[in-house]
Amino acid sequence: MSAKLVAENHSALHAISEEVTPEEFADGTVKKLVSKMREALRTYNAEGFVGVAIAAPQIGVAKRVFLVEDQSKERDDSLPSLVAINPTLVKLSRTSTLLGEGCLSVPERYGAVKRHTKVTLRALDEKGEEYERGAAGLLAQIFQHECDHLDGTLFIDRAEKVWHKEDLDDVTLSEAK
């Protein structure tokens, strides 16, 4: 059975996700979940848009797991591939900026969202080992977006302005300010 993205109104996308337990690492639940998430991310393609990250709620599983795996072949500064389990943003920069943002779960819309320019993430990897990772730019934005998913928040809930994707050619981010 392949993992599919759930619709925007799915309850998992609007609930606070549960922590992953040590038993779920031990019994293979985490491994299966990460595998299903990877498959859903790799098979996503909507009119040329590809994904860079996915959270478990996006496939209908309300667990605190996300992964970053850039599906773009054109990006100059490639993103690291990583899994974040029970993640917490432990540090946020004072500075923030308005950024363009989209989401696999809200495929028809794009928005302008205020995000911290730098963050530090603390999480467990697939083996249950704790790590900390600082991030700036796109990776910092992704960490914040995915952590929002785990708290039941979609980018459209935070966006200062939202556009329909078909209108994007006529829009600049400066219009959102």
pLDDT at residue 70, as a whole number: 84
* Binding site, annotated residues: 103, 145, 149
Report residue 93 as tokens: 């920069």
**How many CB atoms lie under 10 A from the CB of residue 133?**
16
Q: What is the mean pLDDT of residues 29-39?
A: 96
Query: Is 48 or 98 the better-scoring residue by pLDDT?
Result: 98
> What pTM was computed for the model?
0.91
Comparing 26-30, 40-44, 109-113, 154-158, the range with the smallest average pLDDT is 40-44
31 vs 19: CA distance, rounded Å: 15
pLDDT digits (tens, 9 = 90+) for 71-117: 777 766 678 999 999 999 999 999 999 999 999 999 889 999 999 99
What stretch of H or E contains 157? helix 155-158
* Binding site, annotated residues for Fe cation: 103, 145, 149
CA 44 to chain centre: 14
Whether residue 146 lies in the annotated active site: yes
pLDDT digits (tens, 9 = 90+) for 122-174: 999 999 999 999 999 999 999 999 999 999 999 999 999 999 877 766 655 54
Domains of the chain are: 11-176 (3.90.45.10)
Among 130, 146, 166, 175, the active-site one is 146
Which DSSP state fits 54? Answer: E
Report residue 134 as tokens: 């600082």
134 vs 143: CA distance, rounded Å: 10
Whether 149 and 37 have beta carbons less than 8 Å apart is answered as no
Sign of CA dihedral 48, 141, 82, 30: negative
